[in-house]
Amino acid sequence: MQGISAVYRKEMADHFSSFRFVILFALIAMVSVITSYMAGITLKESLEGVAKPQFVFLMLFNTTGAMFSMVQFVAFFGPLIGIVLGFDTINRERAEGTLIKILTQPIFRDAVINGKFLAGVTTITIMLVSIVLIISGLGLILLGVVPGAEEIWRLLLYIVISVFYISFWLGLSILFSIFFRSIATSALASVALWIFLSFFVSLGASVLADMVAPANAPGVDSTEAIVKNIRVKEGISLSSPMSLYTKASATVIDPMRKTTEALVLMGPMEKISAGRFQNPLPIGQSVLVVYPYIIVLIALTLVCFAISYLVFMLQEIRT
């Protein structure tokens, strides 16, 4: 444990003193604040005259103001934080020859990777918590609405999901930094995978879905075809952690959201029946709806770290 804490402390110091981190944090904080500010302004206008709006505070995070909401922003650019924090973890030490020096100290090899990963996760957590706190403070000033207990729980859950999501990318970039000796290669590989999973998977999913289950094929009931098409598309895009994260966080943040699916078939009777009581879901139900997504996200993160750990432990490091 002593080894881990030493590595952890040193790594934290490195993170917070590096310009790279400060610039990135400043960028993300700025963009978050701007999006939330825009959301706040939009909300204020649209809520004027509404008798009793519910969960206004959470709307700060999921209202698309000018361009995109806070939640969407983290989904797209959160991975960058993870990648930036992790892409040179091991191979920089190796290139500078410090890895062997560390390991000559009474520090075990697993302490190095564990400490580095934990330090990364801590940094990510601090970052997310501070961003959420800044936005909350801004919301208090802008809207004058105090969040209720359930809203705070939902925000906490949102932070936990986000930490796991970004940690997945941290683990992935650490894995690449173990695999590739060159810093540039590991950085490129991480970014390439990020671009692929975040942008191309959703694009490819719709292309594939149109091939497998065309929406407007002749001789097929169009509603059924459209539903099938969308199911295929959603199934494929689930292979992207971004899609998992977006669905989970959007549902957790929005209590009125009752499903993760983009399209739900509803008969007219069902619509009337469901529209009769417009109640928000309790937080437990929201969590149950996105439970599989959260599980998969956590499992992915842990598995990704486990692979890095395994590879690092088995690697020949003296050369």
List residues binding other proteins (CB under 8 A).
108-110, 258-259, 264-267, 269-270, 272-274, 276-277, 279, 281, 285, 288-289, 291-292, 294-295, 298-299, 302-303, 305-306, 309-310, 313-314
Residue 82 Ramachandran class (φ > 0 left, ψ -120 to 50 alpha, else beta): alpha
Residue among 207 and 265 whose Cβ is closer to other proteins:
265
Q: Are 138 and 37 in contact (CB under 8 A)?
A: yes
For residue 76, report the phi and psi dihedrals to the nearest 5 degrees.
Answer: -80, -50
Minimum distance between the CB of residue 289 and other proteins, rounded to whole angstroms? 5
User: Which tokens sit at 31?
Assistant: 């963009």
What length is written for the chain? 319
**Is the separation of the CB atoms in 313 and 110 below 8 Å?**
yes
Alpha carbon 6 to chain centroid, angstroms: 29
Instruction: In angstroms, give the least distance from the CB of 140 to other proteins.
Output: 30
- Residue closer to other proteins (CB basis): 138 or 225: 225
- 252 contact partners, CB below 8 Å, separation of at least 6: 154, 157, 158, 161, 286, 287, 290
Of 68 and 108, which CB lies nearer to other proteins in the complex structure?
A: 108
Q: How far is the CB of 290 from other proteins (least distance, A)?
A: 9
Angle at 247 between CA 243 and CA 248, to 5 degrees: 115
- Rounded to the nearest whole angstrom, what is the least distance from the CB of residue 231 to other proteins in the complex? 12
Least separation in angstroms between CB 74 and other proteins: 23
Judged by beta carbon, residue 18 or residue 223, the one nearer other proteins is: 223
Between 112 and 135, whose beta carbon lies closer to other proteins?
112
Instruction: State residue 218 phi and psi, 5-degree precision.
Output: -70, 145
Question: Residues 25, 8: contact at Cβ < 8 Å?
Answer: no
- What secondary structure does DSSP assign to 195-225, as a single string? HIIIIIHHHHHHHHHHHHS-TT-TTS-HHHH
State which residue, 3 or 139, has the beta carbon closest to other proteins: 3
Smallest distance from other proteins to CB 288, Å: 3
- Residue 52 vs 219, nearer CB to other proteins: 52
Nearest distance in Å: CB 251, other proteins: 10
